[in-house]
Structure 1
Amino acid sequence: MNRVRKTFSRRARVATGGAVLAVVAVAGFGAVSANASANASTSTTTSAAAPAPAPARATTTSTHLTVDAAAKAAQAALDAAEKENQRVTVAVVDRNGNTVVTLRGDGAGPQSYESAERKAYTAVSWNAPTSQLAERLEQTPNLKDIPGTLFLAGGAPVTAGKAPVAGIGVAGAPSGALDEKFAQAGVDALAR
């Protein structure tokens, strides 16, 4: 028997190989798509189930200033500074160090914005006025290396039940003592 052996042209081999790859790709996509659909319907069914409550010992509650209270404190600090003709920026941060309110007084320097936020963050982080914390640097100088902090007078913590709930930072006056005096005026406004 004579067998006839045919050789395909290069073009025919490329076309055949391309067709085979296309079939494999479509089949693979269909399998992945079907699998994703099955997972989606399973997760939809699972998410419809009632959530399991977390045990009481696994959760915590924290207290935060309202936006209105933060704005009141910031305005009181700014007003105290303006009464003494000081051009400052006031920042109020929440317990987590996130800025809630920032008021930049007329004529306050550009550096005062970030400084006020960092003083507020430092005060709430350590639940102490930043003037006291600046004194601690003598015993522990590497405290100043903690990101986001500024160990200069001008920050005051706001507490509720002895726990820090916010920090008020003031920057821009010619001395940290004045900045801190104005920050404390913001804290005091919350007691009224």
Structure 2
Amino acid sequence: MKKTTITRGVLATSGLALVLGSIGISAAQAAPAAAPAKAAPAKTTPAKAAPAGGGAVAQTRVLSADALLRIGDAALKEAGKRGQRVTIAVVDRSGVTRLILKTENAGPQTEESARRKAFTAAGFGQPTSRLAGGAGGEGVTIRDIPGTLFLAGGVPVASGGAPIAGIGVGGAPQGSIDEAIAQAGLRAVEGGLN
């Protein structure tokens, strides 16, 4: 049995670091992260329209802790198959980091790259590979938006026709490889997103 420890929200198991931010799971729930993913549909919190007359509370859809772990597990497996040392990040629609996974020996720059790709995909609702070519120009451009990164490797997670999260991967020698790893994470939950 592998030894698992949790310190300040970081789960370390077999050379893998997992940061579980704002997903509200216990150590007992987090420990199975290295186990194979189950094929159960992803769970999201349903969106509800604000009451007529300008209600003060709105509800939004977010990925469940189980869905976050399945995304991470599938992306890690794809990175392993490809022999890549990467970081996988998942952010919610507001850009809040919900999950960070680093493979062994992933470079220190890969975390920021993955997070920014996930942020960009969630914010624009498109894979970052599609945004990369149209982000430039003269003067101020969308590249100037803080926290964005217009390199391939970020994919949006959509529910009900709208983005609810973004998955970003950083560290492979080509953005297309990062994006393939992110797509593997997305496929792990696609069936349960609507």
Per the TM superposition, whether the score is higher than 0.5 is yes
Tell me the secondary structure at the aligned position of residue 63 of structure 1: coil
| Shift, 1:79, TM fit | 1.1
| Shift, 1:138, TM fit | 3.9
Aligned-partner Cα distance in 2 for 1:108–1:63: 31
Corresponding position: 1:149 with 2:148:
yes
CA contact (8 A) 1:75 1:103 kept: no
The answer to which of 130-139 and 100-109 deviates more is 130-139
Aligned-partner Cα distance in 2 for 1:83–1:55: 48
Matched to 2:164, the amino acid is V
Matched to 2:95, the amino acid is G
| Residue of 56, 64, 67 corresponding to 1:66 | 64
Tell me the secondary structure at the aligned position of residue 143 of structure 2: helix
Q: Which residue of 2 aligns with 1:163?
A: 162
Aligned-partner Cα distance in 2 for 1:67–1:103: 14
Alignment of 1:86-97 (within 5 A): 86-97=84-95
TM-score (norm 1): 0.68
Tell me the secondary structure at the aligned position of residue 169 of structure 1: strand
The answer to which of 102-111 and 72-81 deviates more is 72-81
Paired positions, count: 139
Alignment of 1:1-192 (within 5 A): 56-59=52-55, 60-138=58-136, 142-192=141-191
CA contact (8 A) 1:74 1:168 kept: no
The answer to which of 89-98 and 64-73 deviates more is 64-73
Structure 2 gaps, min length 5: 1-49
TM-score (norm 2): 0.68
Matched to 2:174, the amino acid is S
| Shift, 1:168, TM fit | 0.2
CA contact (8 A) 1:74 1:103 kept: yes
> Percent sequence identity over matched residues?
52
Aligned-partner Cα distance in 1 for 2:135–2:51: 41
Matched to 2:82, the amino acid is E
Aligned-partner Cα distance in 1 for 2:149–2:80: 23
Higher strand share: 2
CA contact (8 A) 1:123 1:168 kept: yes
1:57-86 C-alpha deviation (Å, 9 max, x unpaired): 424331110122112102211210111101
Matched to 2:76, the amino acid is L
CA contact (8 A) 1:93 1:120 kept: yes
RMSD (Å) for aligned C-alpha atoms: 1.7
Tell me the secondary structure at the aligned position of residue 178 of structure 1: helix
The answer to which of 71-80 and 81-90 deviates more is 71-80
Matched to 1:117, the amino acid is R
Matched to 1:92, the amino acid is V
